[in-house]
Amino acid sequence: MGTVPSALKHCLSYQHLLKEQPWIGELVPPPQPGQESQTSGLPEYIKIVEVGPRDGLQNEKVIVPTDIKIELINRLSKTGLSAIEVTSFVSSKWVPQMADHKEVMRGIERHPGVRYPVLTPNLQGFHSAIAAGATEISVFGAASESFSKMNINCSIEESIEKFEEVVKSARNMNIPVSKRLYSMGCYEISLGDTIGVGTPGSMKRMLEAVMKEIPLSALAVHCHDTYGQALANILTAIQMGVAVVDSSVAGLGGCPYAKGATGNVATEDVIYMLNGLGINTGVNLYRVMEAGSFICTALNKKTNSKVAQASFNSGTIN
């Protein structure tokens, strides 16, 4: 804005910003008594579900070596995240990126207090996941028949029947089932804007309808940033009381339906917003940025996180 002589242009690294303006990376301090609360009406705590290693990498073109995946997950385990979606027990024919699901599952460090759910599209995948040491699983349906048909070659009803088998087996083994299909016994339903077309208007309408059927505490939002709307949509959701948000470190994972477009919202950008709202996530933003920098270097790509871009010269830590 205004006139900026070129002599003024210089780079501010995140370290510089943190040194001079420590409030940037930190949680905003809780309001003093008598002060207006920034967050009255908003959840005090929001759980971030990190989907980068699964949803993110699944949508990256480059096949990532197993040891890099394990290192990424180990780094994410140290950020304060309480849920990290690790891999997908799906046929490697369909999703080559996830072919090393067993090795990843067995290779990662399991930090106390951190959950490591895996995707299991069918009973076979489920058994394989359990054998590899999984203690939490996810199943997924779609709200669109065509999508279900194109994606997994069956109707929504048929897909749910398949998942019922999975869910039954899991419950028999006393394993908490993550996400989707609440009435079947899923403890949490993550509502995904798969192509990122939603806006705060449609998010509000959708949530109002869902909240009539499912308790707020069982809901999560999984917003894609394909049209740049993710943070505004997430804000709308948390204003309505949703307290679980899915995101992907460095915004990993493009959109398979719009070539060149972005997909998942970046965990860094979500945490930055939540910090600014004074909402507790338990997650250290700087450590997430470091993990993001690590995986972007490994993938030889620029981060999709604007916070990371603004904080480092080229999205990688100096």
Q: Which of residues 75-134 bind other proteins (CB under 8 A)?
A: none
Residue 188 in the binding site for other proteins (CB under 8 A)? no
Read off the amino acid at residue 289. M
Least separation in angstroms between CB 172 and other proteins: 26
The packing angle between helices 156-172 and 123-131, to 10°, is: 30
| Active-site annotation holder among 11, 154, 186, 255 | 255
Q: Which of 184, 210, 235, 298 binds other proteins (CB under 8 A)?
A: 235
Read off the amino acid at residue 202. S
Least separation in angstroms between CB 265 and other proteins: 9
Q: How far apart are CA 251 and CA 112, in angstroms?
A: 26
Residues 6+ apart with CB under 8 A from 299: 60, 62, 64, 252
Stretch touching other proteins by CB under 8 A, among 76-84, 134-142, 146-154, 195-203: 195-203
Residue 315 in the binding site for other proteins (CB under 8 A)? yes
Q: How far apart are CA 116 and CA 111, in angstroms?
A: 9
Stretch touching other proteins by CB under 8 A, among 17-25, 138-146, 148-156, 290-298: 17-25
Task: Say whether 183 sits in a helix, a strand or coil.
Answer: helix
Give the torsion sign (CA, 254, 258, 261, 266): negative
Q: Which is nearer to other proteins, 11 or 112 (CB)?
A: 11
Does residue 255 carry a catalytic annotation? yes
Q: Which of 93, 26, 83, 88 is nearest to 58 (CA)?
A: 88
Stretch touching other proteins by CB under 8 A, among 95-103, 110-118, 166-174, 275-283: 275-283
Least separation in angstroms between CB 9 and other proteins: 5
Q: Which of 142, 154, 175, 232 binds other proteins (CB under 8 A)?
A: 232
Strand order of the sheet with strand 118-119?
Answer: 118-119, 137-138, 177-178
* Number of chain positions touching other proteins (CB under 8 A): 75
Output the DSSP codes for 100-125. THHHHHHHS---TT-B--EE--SHHH
What residues between 33 and 72 interact with other proteins by CB under 8 A? Answer: 36-44
Q: Which is nearer to other proteins, 297 or 309 (CB)?
A: 309
Q: How far apart are CA 225 and CA 292, in angstroms?
A: 17
Least separation in angstroms between CB 5 and other proteins: 5
Tallying the residues shown for the chain, one arrives at 318
Q: Are 179 and 166 in contact (CB under 8 A)?
A: no
User: What is the H or E stretch that residue 193 is in?
Assistant: strand 189-193
Residue 264 in the binding site for other proteins (CB under 8 A)? no
Q: Which is nearer to other proteins, 156 or 277 (CB)?
A: 277
Q: Which of 24, 68, 154, 184 binds other proteins (CB under 8 A)?
A: 24
Q: N- to C-terminal Cα distance for the chain?
A: 28
Stretch touching other proteins by CB under 8 A, among 74-82, 135-143, 176-184, 234-242: 234-242
Residue 18 in the binding site for other proteins (CB under 8 A)? no
Q: Which is nearer to other proteins, 43 or 53 (CB)?
A: 43
**Residues assigned a catalytic role:** 255
